[in-house]
Structures are given as structure tokens and as C-alpha cells.
Amino acid sequence: MKVTVQEDLQNFVIKPQGKFEEGDCYLLRDALERSTRCLSRHVLVDLKDLQNITTAGQRILLSYSTQLQALRRPLVLFNINPVVLHSFEDSGLNKVISIANGLTEAKALAQGHK
């Protein structure tokens, strides 16, 4: 898996790409950890190019969602491919983390969080 990051004053966008393997947890964790220290107000995760996600990866997303909420900075997932979305639905993660269809909706959803 590969993880890229784009950052501006409003948004910190994380883009994991490829197949998520157990050993890739550190890549996602490192990007999310960077997001807790940046100046951007919103943390958005583009999952369009992520082929799958492990339960360990889901736990990382949940953990950082909680940390970012405490900092009053929303975590919003968007562009989720159907396989990954199905994994979120099976685990219930889709009920506790904000999910949007695209970037525009993700930004609007993040703006609405207080």
C-alpha cells in the first residue's frame, strides 16, 4: 500500500492506495498522526483507490477519529470503494465515522461538525 498526503489550511487529505496488508498499519497510522499535529482544520481520507482494509486498519481509523474529535477536528472518509464500504458496514464503522460520497460532500460534512 502507498499513502499520499495533501495539505492546505482547511484540509488534510490522506489517500491510501492499493491493497491494505497487515504490515501497512504503520503507513496509515503515520499519516493520521501527522494530521493531529498539522494546522489544517479538517482531516479527510480518500478511499477510492484502496482495494481492501483489515480490521486493524479499521481500528486505527476509529482510534484517530476519537482523537481528532477531542481536538474538535472532524475525520471524514470519502470516495469509498464498494469492497471497503462493505467491510465498514459489516463492522459497524460506518455508524461511528462520517462518510461522504465525494470530496465536496466530505468538505461540507466536515464544515458542519463543531
**Structural domain boundaries enclosing 63:** 2-112
16-55 confidence digits (pLDDT tens)? 999 998 789 999 999 999 999 998 889 999 999 999 999 9
* Average pLDDT score, the chain: 93
The three-state (H, E, C) secondary structure of the chain, written as one string: CEEEEEECCCEEEEEEEECCCHHHHHHHHHHHHHHHHCCCCEEEEECCCECCCCHHHHHHHHHHHHHHHHCCCCEEEECCCHHHHHHHHHHCHHHCCEEECCHHHHHHHHHHCC
- Number of domains making up the chain: 1
CA distances from 93 to 5, 9, 53, 55, 85 (A): 23, 28, 12, 10, 9
CATH of the domain at 42: 3.30.750.24
For residue 30, which amino acid is it? D
Residue 114 has pLDDT above 60, yes or no: no
Cα(27)–Cα(25) distance, rounded to whole angstroms?
5
| 56 touches 93 (CB < 8 A) | no
Please give the pLDDT value at position 21.
87
